[in-house]
Structure 1
């Protein structure tokens, strides 16, 4: 039987993830926006861009946007927390 934690799946945070995934997936984070790049200045104030192997704090901030990028800087995953 799977573990179910209220508020962890679906609801508002799921919608925020979907919205940001649609905007960022497959793009790179840069100084300005175009077809292949999303401007860093347009990310929420509370965000962090994480590369594979980067160290990060384990504190949970529900409104913080975590942008996970690959070795080439392309967004691979978007989460909140």
Structure 2
């Protein structure tokens, strides 16, 4: 069965994001040979449906990418982040 492509409209945005999170996302996107925006869209669409966006292999890659980026933040930190002065 062939899946039908769904036309969308993308917009340019000036989203600010923690630099180590961005570095980790870029590593994952490069490994999957996809754009950063495509990766973020996929993560969000999965999250909106309460589905995990990554399998075991990608989670292992993310763990290594987080080490490389020095990313020590967790989901528990998400509501505690504060811009450095």
TM-score by length of 2: 0.23
Q: Which has the higher contact order (CA 8 A, sep 6+)?
A: 2
Richer in strand (by share): 1
Richer in helix (by share): 2
